[in-house]
Copies of this chain bind each other. A is one copy, B any other.
Amino acid sequence: MDWTLNRIAIMHSPCKEKFAVPRQSGLAPGLTGQIEILSPYDRDEAFLALDGFSHIWVLGLFHQSKIEGENIDRTESWQTTVRPPRLGGNKRVGVFASRSPNRPNPISLSVFKLIDISRRANKLFLDVSGTDLVDGTPIIDIKPYLRYADSIPDAQGGYVDLIPKPQLSVVFSDLAAKQCFLLTSSFPARLENLNEQQLQRIIIELIQLDPRPAYKTRQNEQEFGLKLFALNVRFSVNQQQAKVLSLDIKD
């Protein structure tokens, strides 16, 4: 069955790689992104009345999934089970009982808060928050969130019933704290004009979810790097405490 999908938009996100991208939408409310609507879909009237909605569904393509790519016959390459991080990475569930990117049709489903719809440099953008997509994700559909149909507060959900608690407390080293101040004031354009507190908040939101791979043996004091905006954010973890070591701007 060959259905041609049209890319209607592209996701611009501070998360430049899969590592540390929140595993569902809404988990890092401070994480904002811009959905750039592409031609020929970038017409104001196609979004008429969308600004009345507080939230939108965004369907994308997991272009960095293990079974990514155009024209790939994924009937051969799919896996029947996956190991959700929520189960510690050592228990398997069916791929259709998970939201894993590695699925027969790698379509992502996210609900974002809609902040603004605006035209900048003649391009149409939707500004959103609570994002969980890596930078560059192709977007294939945008739909309004309909509270009466989509919100099911009493839904029961097996192994992922409750909102994940922050796994780690996050502190900044003296160096990292200074860099938060210096970099946001020295390179505002490369950090989307965030101020020091906003940058710190995003870093805390991402690291407290514990982005480390669940299935690997975790060694204390091992260092991890997180690519955010133009930054490489380095941190280490000791027991349940993460320490942000440094923020290096990439050339």
Which residues of A pack against B, CB within 8 Å?
1-8, 24-27, 40-41, 43, 45-55, 57, 59, 61, 70-75, 78, 80-81, 92-99, 103-105, 107, 109, 111, 138, 140-164
CB <8 Å contact, B1 and A80:
no
In the bound complex, residues from chain B placing their C-beta under 8 Å from that of A3 are 4-5, 61, 70-71
Q: Are A1 and B70 CB-contacts (below 8 A) given A146-B99, A160-B144?
A: yes
- A66 vs B72: C-alpha distance when bound (angstroms): 28
- A103 vs B127: C-alpha distance when bound (angstroms): 21
CB <8 Å contact, A50 and B6:
no
In the bound complex, residues from chain B placing their C-beta under 8 Å from that of A50 are 93-94, 96-97, 158
In the bound complex, residues from chain B placing their C-beta under 8 Å from that of A47 are 94, 96-97
CB <8 Å contact, B150 and A111:
yes
Q: Are A147 and B157 CB-contacts (below 8 A) given A59-B109, A104-B41?
A: yes
CB <8 Å contact, B158 and A144:
yes
Further pairs besides A105-B140, A147-B155: 16, Cβ < 8 Å: A2-B5, A4-B70, A4-B72, A4-B73, A24-B149, A26-B149, A45-B80, A48-B93, A52-B158, A53-B158, A54-B155, A54-B157, A145-B152, A147-B161, A148-B160, A151-B155
10 smallest A-B Cβ distances: which pairs? A52-B158, A148-B163, A50-B97, A24-B149, A49-B93, A48-B94, A54-B156, A46-B80, A49-B97, A47-B94
- A149 vs B151: C-alpha distance when bound (angstroms): 10
CB <8 Å contact, B81 and A48:
yes
Residue of B nearest to A27 (CB): B149
Question: Could you list 20 A-B pairs, sorted by A, with CB under 8 Å?
Answer: A2-B2, A2-B5, A6-B104, A8-B105, A46-B94, A47-B94, A48-B92, A52-B158, A52-B159, A54-B155, A54-B157, A55-B152, A96-B144, A103-B141, A144-B158, A144-B160, A146-B157, A146-B160, A148-B157, A151-B153
